[in-house]
């Protein structure tokens, strides 16, 4: 589990396709190598991936993860290339501060950035969600976009908007987002369960 509070920006430095429909990604980061264990979970642009190796090259820490065919098909991971920058978050530990909202790292779909308004040091980003997910997105509710916990400011139909504060622009990849860019979308767990209960009522 995660909170949607990004703790590092990583960079894809190598990609190796494998015959078993896996793609191994080597990602550079600023985490302490000693704190990255094989089998650990790290959210990469919101996708929960399992560390299969880690090391240090020329004083730069890296870790490797395997992305399976399903992950490559339903998230933006299929489009990651050498040099792609990724929002990273380590998995929650007991006693950690829950600064965002509960995020599972299981991507529901891909949203598209429809427009961006830069407002001084802030930015308003307008997205279009897949139609089947729009019912889970409500004004004042939570979403995770590329692993970042955000509050929805407006929601109508399949469109919704968020305001990005200066700190978030500085410590995530959102500063570089442009219209047409895809982002991984995870809807709020509570909204999903509430909808399921209503369906069963």
Give the global pTM: 0.93
- How far is 122 from 144, CA to CA, in rounded Å? 18
Specify whether the CB–CB gap between 123 and 174 falls below 8 A: yes
pLDDT score of 55: 97
Q: Is 48 among the residues known to form the active site?
A: yes
29, 48, 123, 129: the catalytic one is: 48
41 is catalytic: yes
pLDDT tens for each residue of 110-151 = 999 999 999 989 999 999 999 999 999 999 999 999 999 999
**Which residues, 6+ apart, have CB-to-CB distance to 95 below 8 Å?**
none
What pLDDT does 52 receive?
97
Among 53, 68, 179, 195, the active-site one is: 68
Closest of 109, 106, 127 to residue 174, by C-alpha: 127
* 3 state SS of 132: helix
128-131 long-range contacts (CB < 8 A, ≥24 apart) are 128/158, 128/159, 129/158, 129/159, 129/160, 129/185, 130/158, 130/185, 131/158
Q: What is the pLDDT of residue 17?
A: 92
Given a cut of 70, the residues of the chain with pLDDT beneath it are 196, 200-201
Is 68 tagged catalytic? Answer: yes
Query: Is 151 considered catalytic here?
Result: yes
Predicted local confidence at residue 18, as pLDDT: 84
What pLDDT was estimated at residue 97?
A: 77
Give the domains, in start order, of the chain with CATH numbers.
Answer: 8-90 (2.40.30.20), 109-200 (2.40.30.20)
């Amino acid at each position: 589990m995660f909170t949607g509070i990004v703790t590092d920006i990583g960079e894809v430095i190598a990609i190796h396709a494998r015959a078993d429909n896996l793609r191994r990604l080597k990602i550079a980061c600023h985490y302490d190598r000693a704190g990255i264990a094989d089998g650990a979970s790290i959210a990469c642009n919101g996708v929960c991936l399992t560390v299969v190796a880690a090391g240090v090259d020329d004083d730069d820490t890296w870790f490797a993860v395997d992305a399976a065919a399903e992950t490559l098909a339903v998230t933006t991971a299929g489009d990651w290339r050498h040099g792609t920058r990724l929002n990273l978050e380590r998995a929650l530990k007991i006693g950690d501060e829950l600064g965002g909202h509960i995020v599972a790292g299981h991507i529901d779909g891909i949203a598209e950035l429809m427009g961006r308004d830069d407002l001084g040091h802030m930015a308003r980003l307008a997205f279009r969600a897949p139609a089947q997910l729009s019912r889970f997105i409500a004004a004042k509710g939570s979403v995770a976009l590329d692993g970042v916990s955000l509050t929805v400011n407006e929601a109508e139909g399949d469109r919704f908007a968020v305001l990005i504060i200066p700190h978030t622009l500085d410590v995530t990849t959102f500063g570089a987002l442009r219209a047409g860019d895809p982002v991984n979308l995870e809807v709020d767990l509570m909204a999903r369960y509430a909808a399921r209960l209503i369906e069963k009522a």
